[in-house]
Amino acid sequence: MSAQHAQQAHQPHEVVERLAAEGIDVVRVGYPDLIGTDRARDVLLSHLPSACAHGLAFCRAVYHTTPQGDVVPVTGGLDAGLPDILVRPDLDTLAALPWEPGVAWCLGDVSDPRTGAPAPESPRDLLRAVLARCGEHGLSPVVGPELEYFLCETDPAAPGGWRRYCETSGAVYTTGLRADPDNHLLRLLRLLRDLGIGVTNGNHEFEGAQFEINLIHSGAADAADRAFRLKSAVKELARREGRLATFMAKPFNNAGGSGFHLHLSFQDAEGRDVFDAPSRPHGLSVTALHAVAGLLAHAPALSALANPTINSYKRFGPHTLAPWLIDWGLDNRSAMVRVPPERGAGARLELRLGDASANPYLLIAGAVGAALLGITAGEEPPTPLEGYGYDTTRSALLPSGLTAALDALEADTALTAVLGKEFTTAFLTYKRNEIERFQQHVTDWEFTEYAYHL
């Protein structure tokens, strides 16, 4: 069974019959929370029709819960007496879990039982709303996600209890046992292929124990679903082996961070790539330039979604492969927006801003929203960066930290109008609580820096 194969089957009782014949007895129904972690419930197959009819009840504060398990006082959660949200299995997304016999996995659609409408914090619905706006302009975004992560092993002596699985240096763009002595990547790729989420290839990335997995390009909603499932699956498969796969932006002081690069283009109603214009300079349409301008204009606000943790801003910097300035260039990896060299149906932008910790739905919604704002406003970008970048007299810096990014998001009323007021308020409240907690916390760095000499 694959996600594609399941698309015809919408009648829960028929689905139950089919799954039972395939030896499936549990359906895992998962959905993204605000930070893009998967929340889920394992439903016994005989109860699937009831879950489809009535929904699975979760506490709405699942969206307001920190990675440490505390509930942040976001409107509609604690203050409302911790009410329910309902999650209905999206049977179009059913796929058998290749590594967990008897279990099929699908995504869930989240609604607020008081209104019957999508839950205001639901990232999947937020993206749908942004895509509906694109539809009003006759545009369908196409997205290709690339995700990097580190694979770690337990080490009681390491800070945090985890060390990198392998410390080989200089193994960028390699495969095989030299930098992956346990063949992690091959094992993973085959399981991800069998899951049917459109994984195309993978390789060892720049840093020891860092890997990159690439996904096919498809409609933005589908691409977000697949990126979300990829992160979830990679984490799950690492845990299965007693390891930790982390999509944290910059987990180690002695290694660069992990990116979540997005390839982005828009198609018109005829399915034509509207960025392609063979007769124009660089083969790029005016629409492509407007989209670049939108991404640049809204980059400070967008970074709140693309770089959503306190740690995210430690990945940025000059002379890294991560961005530092708000700029764009033609096939230039030192720029925040790179225009890869392909044209025709492959004409696209590569937004290199996002780090791997970003919630795929929010990153894609924000990027598409910013590009659309540029297109509708007819904004013009500056001339593209030439050569190796990092000239602060030429381009503005990205926000230096999460506080600045959240402030930029709040101030960017054009982008927050696209994202919706209720979502934006929830996101800002949740993330500002994270900053408050961090500011109260005495870090290892402070002790090392001050305790002995002062």
Residues of this chain that bind ligand GLU (CB under 6 A): 148, 206, 256-259, 315, 321-322, 333, 352
Question: In Å, what is the CA distance from 320 to each residue of 102, 212, 247, 312, 316?
Answer: 44, 16, 18, 14, 7
360 interface partner picked from ligand GLU, Mg ion, none, CB below 5 to 8 A per type: none
Q: Nearest to Mg ion by Cβ — which residue? A: 212
Tell me 141's DSSP state.
Answer: E
Residue 252 or 266 having the CB closest to ligand GLU: 252
On whether the CB atoms of residues 21 and 414 are closer than 8 A, the answer is: no
Residue 77 or 144 having the CB closest to ligand GLU: 144
**Shortest distance, position 186 Cβ to ligand GLU, whole Å:** 20
On whether the CB atoms of residues 87 and 41 are closer than 8 A, the answer is: yes
Residue 32 or 354 having the CB closest to ligand GLU: 354
258 interface partner picked from ligand GLU, Mg ion, none, CB below 5 to 8 A per type: ligand GLU
423 in helix, strand or coil?
A: helix
Q: Nearest to ligand GLU by Cβ — which residue? A: 259
Polymer length in residues for the chain: 454
Of 198, 196, 225, 195, nearest to 364 by C-alpha is 225
- Cα separation, 139 vs 131, whole angstroms: 9
Residue 212 or 434 having the CB closest to Mg ion: 212
On whether the CB atoms of residues 378 and 291 are closer than 8 A, the answer is: no
Contacts with Mg ion, 207-236, as mask; x by CB under 5 A? -----x------------------------
- Cα separation, 435 vs 312, whole angstroms: 12
384 interface partner picked from ligand GLU, Mg ion, none, CB below 5 to 8 A per type: none
**Shortest distance, position 407 Cβ to ligand GLU, whole Å:** 24
Three-class SS of 325-372: ECCEEECCCCCCEEECCCCHHHCCEEECCCECCCCHHHHHHHHHHHHH
**Shortest distance, position 353 Cβ to ligand GLU, whole Å:** 9
333 interface partner picked from Mg ion, ligand GLU, none, CB below 5 to 8 A per type: ligand GLU
144 interface partner picked from ligand GLU, Mg ion, none, CB below 5 to 8 A per type: none
Residue 213 or 375 having the CB closest to Mg ion: 213
226 interface partner picked from Mg ion, ligand GLU, none, CB below 5 to 8 A per type: none
Residue 62 or 339 having the CB closest to Mg ion: 339
328 interface partner picked from ligand GLU, Mg ion, none, CB below 5 to 8 A per type: none
| Rounded (5°) CA angle 205-222-409 | 75
Residue 350 as a binder of Mg ion (CB under 5 A): the answer is no
Contacts with Mg ion, 173-212, as mask; x by CB under 5 A? ---------------------------------------x
**Shortest distance, position 294 Cβ to ligand GLU, whole Å:** 21
In 177-254, DSSP assigns E strands to: 199-204, 210-215, 218-219, 244-246
33 in helix, strand or coil?
A: coil
140 interface partner picked from ligand GLU, Mg ion, none, CB below 5 to 8 A per type: none
Q: Is the Cα dihedral 366, 372, 374, 377 positive or negative?
A: negative
Could you tell me if residue 301 is left (phi over 0), alpha (psi between -120 and 50 degrees) or otherwise beta?
alpha
Using CB under 5 A as the criterion, which residues of the chain lie in contact with Mg ion when the complex forms? Answer: 212
